[in-house]
Amino acid sequence: MIVYGSSMSPFVRKVIAVLTVKQIDFKLKTVGFQDPDPDFRAASPLGKMPAIDDDGFKLADSSAICHYIEAAHPDPVLIPGDAKERGRVIWWDKYADTVLMPTGGKMFFNRVVAPIFMKKPGNDEMADKAEAEELPVILDYLEGEVPDAGAFLVGDTLSLADISLASPFANLSHAGVTIDAKRFPRVKAWTESMLAHPCLAGSVARERAFFEKIGAPRS
């Protein structure tokens, strides 16, 4: 399978984590935002990463891709069959995509993507405002929802919910955001335990090494 994108994207990192858990071979073809690469554009009609090409089957959107992978490679299960558990997994996947990342993206884009990858100034005011005003609302909610460090959001085993919700916290960390351990102790402990999980740890370590190498360590 070819995965188009960069693991710096929380959505690409999520797909890589799912492939890692399921031990599926893949080749990462690095592309940028709205990359003109024709093979990427054929797989991603909106020009967004991730997209895949699985032996000629092309698909975009991390959630669509994860559902496809789950159906094609059901073992180990990451999207449970139980109705309530499945509903909760989809809730967390969607929450990460539509609530956490729109806020996290304001920090990651303006502090990392714009200055480092696009070589243009980011909007620091927008990033600082999102960190001060939007992020605490999200963390307040999560503080009442996440389990103990090392435990899982839905059921007793790792699911797509854990991967989807934890992945954007790597972007927050790259953007220099520190989760306040006094105010959000559960979120801090759980997200750190998830980012250290073997399915995410490899990507996060490579990303941190990249920032170290260019002399811009944020986390």
Ligand X SMILES: N[C@@H](CCC(=O)N[C@@H](CS)C(=O)NCC(=O)O)C(=O)O
33 near ligand X, judged by CB under 6 A:
yes
Tokens representing residue 21 in the block: 């858990």
Instruction: Look up tokens 């090494």; give the residue.
Output: 209
By CB under 6 A, residue 207 contacts ligand X: no
Task: Tell which residue, 140, 130, 134, 122, has the closest CA to residue 180.
Answer: 140
Q: Does 159 bind ligand X (CB under 6 A)?
A: no
Stretch binding ligand X (CB under 6 A), from 58-66, 144-152, 184-192, 207-215: 58-66
Q: In what order do the strands lie in the sheet with 2-4?
A: 27-29, 2-4, 51-54, 57-60
Amino acid at residue number 204: V
Q: Which of residues 62-91 bind ligand X (CB under 6 A)?
A: 62-63
**Closest distance to ligand X from the beta carbon of 61 (Å):** 4
Counting contacts by CB under 6 A, is residue 9 touching ligand X?
Answer: yes
Residue 41 Cβ vs ligand X, minimum distance, rounded to whole Å: 12
Choose which of 26, 30, 47, 210 interacts with ligand X (CB under 6 A).
47
Question: What is the Cα–Cα distance from 54 to 213, expressed in whole angstroms?
Answer: 33
Please calculate the CA angle 104-110-116 and round it to the nearest 5 degrees.
115
Name which position in 61, 70, 131, 162 contacts ligand X (CB under 6 A).
Answer: 61
Give least dist CB 184 to ligand X, A: 24
Closest to 100 measured CA to CA, from 13, 174, 11, 190: 11
**11 in contact with ligand X (CB under 6 A):** yes
Interface ranges with ligand X (CB under 6 A)? 9, 11, 33-34, 47-50, 61-63, 97
